Chain A
Amino acid sequence: MDERFYLRLAWDCIRKNRRLYVPYLLTVAGAAAGFYMLATTGDPSGMADPGDVRLIMRTCTVVLGLVCGGFLLYTNGFLMKQRGREFGLYAVLGLDRSNMTRLLAWETAFTAAIGVGAGLAAGVLLDRLLLMILAKLSGMPYAGPAVYGRCLVLTAGVFALILGLIFAANIIRVGRMCPTELLISKDVGDREPKSKWFVTVVGIVLLGAGYGIAICRPALMEGVVVEDILWFFAAVLLVIFGTFALFLGGTVTGLKLLRRWKGYYYKARHFVSVSGLIHRMGRNAAGLAIICILSTAVLVMVSSTVCLRAGLESSLRGYFPRDVMCQFGSMAENDWDGLLAGAMEDAVAAGYHPKDTVRYLYWEYGWSVDGGRTGTDLAFVDAAGYEAITGRALSLGPDEVLTDAAEDTLTVMDAAFTVAGGLGPEDPVMAYLGRVLGVGDMEDMPRTLVVADGGAILALRQRAEEYGQTDPDYSYSFGTFVDHNMDFDLPAGEDSRACLAVIRQYVLDHVYEGAFSDGSASIGQARSDLLVQFGSLLFLGLFLGTLFLGGAALLIYYKQVSEGYEDRERFAVMRQVGMDEGLIRRSVHSQILLVFFLPLVTAFCHMAAAFPLVARLLEVWDMSDRGLFMVCTLGAAAVFAALYTAVYLLTARVYARLVGR
């Protein structure tokens, strides 16, 4: 037969099934557009960004490709199931396998041309907007070409592969069925699903294990290490498979138990609902599980990334007791008082207004003897610094210290000190140093001694050097430099980054001994560094969240269509056997409602179980504000529930139209 015949037939098939095909083509287009746009965010010719953000973007692109493949394979399967009768008719009319293959090939070609073509066009058009949103959220400057050739090719390639796989799956599907089966294949779905005790038990076990990890693991975690990330993914996989198993097995098994309870089942309302639900759940289990998992993914991604972004300022403040934290250390005895004072004058001359300035010396020193078996770690702060930080007056003699020791005297490297006062973990100095050092738990702080002045610190350091020369077992771990710190705030609106640059320049120009360390930091720089990370993550969360929500919405639409088609016939029968309209509508609507809101409720359960573990993982980014995360989680859940309901109500109109008289 003429190739043009197949072309026309394929086109007719798509047109006639437009109620099914239009959403499918939109999905292909949406997936292609999303994939292309996400690919451009990780493209090397695109926006300049730190390597780790690009790596995250690229990883997510790969994941999105896999999700798109699986999702399209599933929706296509749904589409083909609805068209079973049509293919049966073709087979009866005499189209053999090779004819059918050619028909399917043309359909795939149309799908690719229209879907991927439209997707790429939309992707190119929207990409600029999307990258601008990324730039806005992350603070990265917008840059890059208007069209990313490499990403276009990559997207086309990936989707050609996906559609090729779908094509192969369809040939196998059509080839395996005989025509009469195809003709009745719509009815096959009506078979009563069997109870699956094994699958149910497996589902409960998997889900329990996943929940167990998510809930119990955080208590075992000390810090967050790679292993914890692996545990997280293990929990995610367990929950995904558990959800599938429970939806596939558990719902039907549970409903069948209800049916065995005769006193409950043989009541007018339950009778129709329970038997209807058994069939509905049997047919829809996989789709509902996918909706549930997509929903959970959206909820977790959005809540955690929004939380990170919302908590940026407060976690930043945790590290920055002052806006500008100058920290210079040197071996030789530079006149740091003079240098810093001069630098400050330059800063003022440049138009900055430093305030709440804190000057202090800090020397952290660690050594070990016996080949490292015995180690000591001590930190020293000068009395003037103590006064500046705490605002309390303190006068110490040359052999007096403040520390947390219980004894009255203390010997450090053979130098004897009298303990003049306590220095507990709650002392403002300790709190201040804890923030600067980024130590969350005060137990991890080195033992800290406040000594009379810089002279006392330098004398101790001299002694340490001598020790190192005389004792071969003795080794430094750190403590080469004594740090000269000068921290200050700036009024709102003054650029801490630029101000620090002025100070650095002055120090660089005026220091007369070359070897010095610079551990200075400005809150402005740290903010923009974190913003690149958190903003990019927020972008990813929102972008993928939107895509996944779109996917879930599409599945809901498909489900409504298929439910509508089947309920249309059932409605007619029920009316004829004497069910009143009100009862039919009430019971069917409550079934539909349950079917669609079960995934949402399950997603909320998953989210609640994931909460402790995700909260711990957020500590990787120094986000430890549980209250904030709770607010973000509840907020995301509320917004998602509203969107989900809106999608449900919109698609329910399709259903109503199908079953309406």
Chain B
Amino acid sequence: MTVALLEVEGLQKTYTTRYGGQAVPALTGVSFTLEEGQFAAVMGESGSGKTTLLNVVAALDRPTAGTVRLDGRDTAAVPERELAAFRRENLGFVFQEFNLLDTFDIRDNILLPMVLAGRSRQEMERTLPPLAKKLGIADILGKYPYEVSGGQKQRTAVARALILSPRLILADEPTGALDSRSSDALLELLDEVNAGGQTVLMVTHSVKAASHAGRVLFIKDGTLYHQLFRGDDDRGRFYGRISDALTALAGGRSDG
């Protein structure tokens, strides 16, 4: 039996508005497990709670109720001062807006987690070149984020997410700010990364992006509404099934 890397159980998250103190539920009870080496996509409309889910999984946000266990460890139990290190060692992030730092060149942006983790120069010099080569950004390492294209920025972000070989990669709309060619290239890259055994959890709007995953979770109004496994389908067929599911999801709402 495969090991459950991520276990999410009865997850709830309620925000309180700053003015008026009104409680706004974002997640009302989400449970699922993600096994080592899986590539899962989370889909849902805007405001369905998918980014909240990602933030809670990333321990950027504390759940109101329920637990998130990464590798068997309850993330809510990680003390505040260890949280940053915990995140660094176990999680890699890829964001829609890349979130690269303008003050660093591409090389230093990728190395940032390593430097923060206090790794040695030798280790950095050993790890960076093969990774950069694999991601096709070896020749722009000396440039600054504002000097390279969106696709290259996102590859940089992926490199940064991978440099410490974390247990889980969390991607939040990674193709949201990319043109279709760059999107395709990035998704291929995620496929490759996943094929190498890396577990990936990706939040996306894009059916195409989701069709690269092995499993799609649909979230609606804060709950897990439906999920699909790719099984033996090719990408095209899976694309069709995801599309249908989304239509049903939207239809479900119009009914209600």
Q: List chain A positions with a Cβ less than 8 A from chain B.
A: 187, 190-192, 262-263, 266-268, 271, 275-276, 278-279, 570, 572-583
Contacts and interface: CB of A to CB of B under 8 A. Distances in A.
Given A266-B121, A574-B101, A578-B93, 10 more contacts: A190-B102, A192-B103, A275-B103, A275-B108, A276-B103, A573-B101, A577-B93, A577-B112, A579-B116, A581-B84
B103 A279 contact: yes
A623 to B, nearest CB: 50
Given A187-B146, A275-B104, A573 B99 contact: yes
Contacts of B112: 271, 577
A278 B103 contact: yes
Interface in B92-142: 93, 95, 99-105, 108, 111-113, 115-116, 118, 121, 124
A578 B87 contact: yes
A582 B124 CA distance: 24
A264 to B, nearest CB: 11
Given A262-B121, A276-B103, A271 B115 contact: yes
Contacts of B91: 578
A570 B83 CA distance: 19
Contacts of A190: 102-103, 146
Contacts of B104: 275
A279 B102 contact: yes
Contacts of B115: 266-268, 271
Given A578-B88, A582-B81, A268 B116 contact: yes
Given A271-B115, A275-B104, A576 B144 contact: no
A268 B118 contact: yes
A263 B121 contact: yes
B185 interface: no
A271 B101 CA distance: 12
A190 B144 CA distance: 10
A637 to B, nearest CB: 34
Contacts of A583: 84, 116
B144 A191 contact: yes
Nearest to B160: A577
Q: Would you list the 5 A-B pairs with minimal beta carbon distance, nearest first?
A: A580-B84, A578-B88, A275-B103, A190-B102, A573-B99
B96 to A, nearest CB: 12
Given A191-B146, A268-B115, A275-B104, A579 B121 contact: no
B250 interface: no
B93 A576 contact: yes
B85 interface: yes
Q: Which of B112, B121, B146 has the most CB of A within 10 A?
A: B112
B124 A577 contact: no
Nearest to B97: A573
B195 interface: no
A589 B38 CA distance: 41
Given A262-B121, A268-B115, A271-B115, A580 B83 contact: yes
Contacts of A577: 93, 99, 112-113, 160
B109 to A, nearest CB: 9
Say what secondary structure dominates the interface of chain B. helix
Interface in B135-183: 144, 146, 160
Contacts, number: 70
A421 to B, nearest CB: 82
A176 B100 CA distance: 30
Nearest to B89: A578
B60 interface: yes
B77 to A, nearest CB: 17
A262 B91 CA distance: 27
Given A275-B103, A578-B87, A192 B60 contact: no
B124 A570 contact: no
B84 A271 contact: no
Contacts of A572: 99
Contact of A578 (B100, B116, B124): B116
A111 B103 CA distance: 36
B81 to A, nearest CB: 7
A273 to B, nearest CB: 10
A278 B105 CA distance: 12
B130 to A, nearest CB: 19
A190 B145 CA distance: 10
B85 A580 contact: yes
B60 A576 contact: yes
B124 A266 contact: yes
A187 B111 CA distance: 23
Contacts of B100: 573
26 contacts: A191-B146, A192-B105, A266-B111, A267-B115, A268-B115, A271-B108, A271-B112, A271-B115, A275-B101, A275-B104, A278-B103, A279-B103, A570-B103, A573-B101, A577-B93, A577-B99, A577-B112, A578-B85, A578-B93, A578-B116, A579-B84, A579-B116, A580-B81, A580-B85, A581-B84, A583-B116
A579 B85 CA distance: 8
Contacts of B146: 187, 190-191
A262 B121 CA distance: 8
B184 to A, nearest CB: 26
Contacts of A278: 103
A579 B117 CA distance: 9
B45 to A, nearest CB: 24
Contact of B99 (A266, A279, A576, A580): A576
A578 B113 contact: yes
Contacts of B144: 191-192
A337 B124 CA distance: 100
B167 to A, nearest CB: 14
A511 B145 CA distance: 95
A578 B121 contact: no
B208 to A, nearest CB: 25
Interface in B10-57: none
A192 to B, nearest CB: 6
Contacts of B116: 268, 271, 578-579, 583
Contacts of A262: 121
Contacts of B87: 578
Contacts of B88: 578
Q: Which of A275, A570, A572 has the most CB of B within 10 A?
A: A275
Contacts of B102: 187, 190, 192, 279, 570
Contacts of B81: 580, 582
Contacts of B95: 576
Nearest to A184: B146
A570 B85 contact: no
B161 to A, nearest CB: 9
Contacts of A267: 115, 118
B101 A570 contact: yes
A583 B85 CA distance: 12
Contacts of B160: 577
A271 B107 CA distance: 12
A190 B118 CA distance: 27
A275 B85 CA distance: 22
Nearest to A277: B103
B103 A578 contact: no
B14 to A, nearest CB: 18
A334 B235 CA distance: 128
A146 B95 CA distance: 66
Nearest to A580: B84
A279 B115 CA distance: 19
Contacts of B101: 275, 570, 573-574
A178 B178 CA distance: 25
Q: Which of A263, A271, A276, A580 has the most CB of B within 10 A?
A: A580
A600 B67 CA distance: 52
A424 B60 CA distance: 88
A263 B125 CA distance: 12
B128 to A, nearest CB: 11
A578 B108 contact: no
Contacts of B121: 262-263, 266
A570 to B, nearest CB: 6
Nearest to A271: B115
